[in-house]
Amino acid sequence: MRAECSSYAQGVERAPASVGDVAEGLAGAGYLAGGATALVSYLALRLGKPVLVEGPAGVGKTELAKALARFLGRELVRLQCYEGLDEAKALYEWNYRKQLLRIQAEAAGTGWDAVQDDIFGREFLLSRPLLTAISAERPVVLLIDEIDKTDQEFEALLLEVLSDFQISIPELGTVTAQTRPVVLLTSNNTRELTEALKRRCLYLWLDYPSLERELEIVRLHTPDLHEQVAQRLVEVVALVRELDLKKPPSIAESIDWARTLLLLGVEDVDRETFLETMSVIVKHRADLEVVAARVGVKLAAGAAGAAAS
């Protein structure tokens, strides 16, 4: 697991007054949100409900949480999920070494009751992302990334946190949230999540963007790329996505391809350039063959048509 606490610019939090405010704020943080994304983010902020974001790989699920943190000037606390993730890595863990040292340091003859009271205090607790998020003094954005990689037992564990914003620690009592985090859960839809979890969340399905939005995103990430090349790039990516592939190219791959074309100083996405660089957007051998045949031919035909006219 990777539990990451990164601090973004600590601005004063602005409460968004409208969906438009959120869209604008996210754009200011480098994220171009579609209508549904801006609306669900606005509702999450105003209703204080977690959001479950589902969709194919590389469409901006994780980045949405990062952008919200930047926009709100909040710290991002991230829990990266994996198979077998448990309480000790997600919620909290007792610092056994420190407890042991404390026991050893106690004067001989100190009663067990006194020692026990001592070693199960807050000082001996190691906070993991979920506890960190709810006990933070300033509200944070909590990203529970790739929740579909965990099992249903872990989902059950999350329910207490997501509905009551509290964590029960048997030896210490209940830790209630000091501040309310904005919570985003992401899933690549590799398994169906439980109804109980879904009930507690707002839902956002993120799909591949429209041509216009993808062009905006590509231009945002590679402003130096020639506009015509960027336009052609998103058109070709859309063509590739129409094919029945194992793994269609995502926004992440469009951006990588744009960077590649910029670096190579490409001025037109012709058949040759496409065949040379298509492995940036297509990453399965079988897919490469299909794409080379279908899209490569289309590009050649397009060039022949243009030459004839």
Ligand X SMILES: Nc1ncnc2c1ncn2[C@@H]1O[C@H](COP(=O)(O)OP(=O)(O)OP(=O)(O)O)[C@@H](O)[C@H]1O
Q: Which of residues 42-81 bind Mg ion (CB under 5 A)?
A: 62
Stretch that binds ligand X, among 51-59, 121-129, 258-266, 291-299 (CB under 6 A): 51-59
Upper half-sphere CA count for residue 162 (Cβ side, 13 Å): 23
80 binds ligand X (CB under 6 A): no
Question: How many helices (H) and strands (E) are present in the chain, helices listed first?
Answer: 14, 10
Which residue is at the shortest CB distance from ligand X?
60
Question: Counting contacts by CB under 6 A, is residue 81 touching ligand X?
Answer: no
Residue 59 contact, options Mg ion, ligand X, none, Cβ 5-8 Å cut-off depending on partner type: ligand X
Asked if 32 interacts with ligand X (CB under 6 A), we say yes
Strand residues in the chain grouped as ranges (E): 3-6, 51-54, 76-80, 92-94, 125-127, 141-145, 166-169, 173-176, 182-187, 202-205
**Smallest separation, CB 41 to ligand X (Å):** 12
Verify binding: residue 59, ligand X, rule CB under 6 A. yes
Residues 167-206 that bind ligand X (CB under 6 A): 186, 188
- Judged by CB under 6 A, the residue of 31, 71, 92, 124 near ligand X is 31
Note whether 126 binds ligand X by CB under 6 A.
no
Rounded to 10 deg, the angle between the 19-28 and 35-47 helix axes is 110
Q: Which does 57 bind (CB under 5 to 8 A by kind): ligand X, Mg ion, none?
A: ligand X
Contact call for residues 230 and 257 (beta carbons, < 8 A)? no
Q: Tell me how far, at minimum, the Cβ of 65 lies from Mg ion, in Å.
A: 9
User: Which one, 36 or 301, has the nearer CB to ligand X?
Assistant: 36
CB of residue 11 to ligand X, shortest distance in Å:
20
Q: Kindly tell me which residue out of 11, 13, 20, 57 binds ligand X, with binding defined by CB under 6 A.
A: 57
Site string for ligand X, 214-233 (x = CB under 6 A): ---x--x-------------
Adjacent-strand bridge partners of 187: 54
Contact predicate 194/154, CB 8 Å: no
Query: CA-to-CA distance for 80 and 2, rounded, in angstroms?
Result: 5
d(CA 246, CA 205): 20
Task: Say how far apart CA 204 and CA 168 lie, in whole Å.
Answer: 29
**Which of the 8 DSSP states describes residue 279?**
G
Q: How far is CA 146 from CA 29, 90, 112, 160, 308, in A?
A: 22, 13, 43, 19, 50
- Selection from ligand X, Mg ion, none that 60 binds (CB < 5 to 8 A by kind) is ligand X
Instruction: Point out which residues bind Mg ion (CB under 5 A).
Output: 62
Instruction: Point out which residues bind ligand X (CB under 6 A).
Output: 31-33, 57-63, 186, 188, 217, 220, 251-252, 255
